[in-house]
Amino acid sequence: MSVVVRLRNLVFYGYHGVLQSEQQLGQRFELDVEYRTAAPPADDLAATINYVEVYQRVADLVSGERYNLIESLAEAVAQAILTAFPVERVTVRVRKPSVSLGGLCDYVEVEVTKEAER
């Protein structure tokens, strides 16, 4: 049996983007992380993935690294979770609410799903 864990609407400040203003001033980014893992055999934190550690891994990447593309950011977050934790599959959504498109838009969002190699 497996379980799905979702961390919704994580908000960070980062310096991602192609425009010079994005790289200098930074902006807000919102992320969703969803991962599937084996169900813990006991009601014990040591028997499962501590989602506080998942959050911290995401925070370190979003706030500490720089990417031109939010696609690259989503890929890096997904790969970091796959590498650091025993997950079967991970989906990462990155939203950029302050996007300049020349018109009204709530946000631009990308989604990356990766599966563990078997």
Q: Which of the residues are catalytic?
A: 96
The first and second tokens of residue 35, run together, are 């991962």
> Which contacts of 19-22 are long-range, i.e. CB under 8 A and separated by 24 or more positions?
19/100
Distance between CA atoms of residues 41 and 2, nearest Å = 11
Q: Using alpha carbons only, how large is the chain's radius of gyration in Å?
A: 15
Its sign, for the CA torsion 113, 3, 85, 53, is positive
Q: Which residues pair with 111 in a beta bridge?
A: 93
Its sign, for the CA torsion 53, 54, 55, 58, is positive
